[in-house]
Structure 1
Amino acid sequence: MPLHTWLLFVTTMFFVSATPGPNMLLAMTHGIHYGVRRTLMTCFGLMSALGLLMLASVAGLGAVLATSEVLFSVIKYAGAVYLVYLGVKTWRSPPQPVAELREDATGQHGPWALYRRGFLVAMSNPKALIFFAALFPQFMDAHQPQGPQLAILALTFFVVESSWQLTYASCGARLAGWLNSARRLRLVNRFSGGAFVGAGVLLTSLSRQ
């Protein structure tokens, strides 16, 4: 892969990944409540799901979704329902002190619960499948071996995306001290919950194009 092509891909992914969305919002929210170290499990969940979506896209599912309105709609509304559910749950969560949450590693605050939440949020957007199917070929040479090119693009994507997730989580963790009051934590829950609900509603308006 020519260096200028790779640099163009890095620049594109830098700005695409930096754009706030459900994945980054979850990373920041968990950074506030659990700190960066425990939010790594959330990030692992997010990246695992994105990896599966990438593989599915390479396997052709992205092209299928791009041509099947019914399949796209089924996955889209299922993802929207989950985001709205997560938003309502977050909105209604009591303003539990950050220190208590960081010490509570059981139940819904345990590592696998955080991983699962990240995985489901990232899997909730079928547009990612079409995104990978449409974006990657723009930076690939059809006359060169496809495997090495896909590996380079995938590795670059994972590095850029995970770096932004950790950045959002770190920003959230830095805000934790200032937000550690019942009133402010309630506002965080309301803001995050409303944002997830908004993302779910917005997801229903997406088209295959």
Structure 2
Amino acid sequence: MDLPTLILFIPACFALNMAPGPNNLLSVSNSTRYGFRTSCLAGFGRLLAFAGMIALASAGLAVVLQTSELLFYGIKILGAGYLIYLAIQLWRANPDADTRTQSAPVSLRALARQEFLVAAGNPKAILIFTAFLPQFIDPTRGVCAQFAVLGALFLMLELIAISAYAYMGVHMRRWFAEPKGKRLFNRGCAVLLSAAASVLLTARRA
């Protein structure tokens, strides 16, 4: 995996990590009620679910990427289309929509379990690992090793996102709840995702 690939992957991936979703909104809610530290620790339940998804995607797609270049490019197009779809949804999202999450038990284990279940039951997460990560894989090299690197980077960026949303919940709750601030945040993520999709669609692998 070369440096230009990582330079493209990191901001595109971070845009996905930071995009408002059920888990990130859960971090905001948990930090508001239970504090920054508890919200961040509960987020490890989410990371556990994502790590399992990454391992399954790596094992299942390794053979595909190594044996069929056509399927590889099919996945590439699917992933770019998903990024564009997500960007459109974020751009058009109603900032006045009710995003309140259900109350969670005070137990840290229960909060982590809730994070795990929300992540495991999110179909968008499955698409990310089966359609987004493979776009940065070079099938002529070790696929599993590249998945491990990209997966580790994804989890590190996800941990940053967990901390950022927990911080918002503690210190920026009023700003985040304002329709104008939420709209700007959504559209900023939408621009990053659509730009990444455009680059991926036009890029050609040697």
Q: Give me the TM-score of the superposition, normalised by structure 1.
A: 0.60
2:123 is matched with 126
How far apart, in 1, do the equivalents of 2:55 and 2:140 lie?
Answer: 21
- 1:11 to partner: Cα distance: 1.3
1:1-209 matches, within 5 Å, as 1-60=1-60, 90=102, 108-175=105-172
RMSD of aligned alpha carbons: 2.6
Deviation sequence 1:67-115 (CA, Å, 0-9, x none)? xxxxxxxxxxxxxxxxxxxx8982xx6xxxxxxxxxxxxx921111111
Name the % identity: 34
Letter in 1 for 2:156: V
- Separation in 2, partners of 1:55, 1:109: 31
- 1:12 is matched by which residue type in structure 2? A
CA contact (8 A) 2:59 2:144 kept: no
Aligned residue type for 2:151: A
In structure 1, runs of 5+ residues without a counterpart are 67-86, 94-106, 179-209
Q: Structure 1 residues 60 and 126 mapped into 2: Cα distance closer, same or farther (>3 Å)?
A: farther
- Alignment partners' CA distance in 1, 2:163 and 2:19: 14
| Structure 2 residues not aligned, in runs of 5+ | 65-74, 76-98, 175-206
Per-residue deviation, 1:175: 4.5
The one-letter amino acid paired with 1:30 is N
**Offset, 1:2:** 0.7
- Displacement, 1:147? 2.6
Q: Which aligned runs of 4 or more in structure 1 are off by greater than 3 angstroms?
A: none
CA gap 1:13/1:167 in 2 versus in 1, 3 angstroms: same
- How many angstroms does 1:31 deviate by? 0.9
Q: TM-score, normalised by structure 2?
A: 0.61
Aligned pair count reads 140
1:152-180 deviation digits (Å, cap 9, x = unpaired): 1011101111101110001101257x7xx
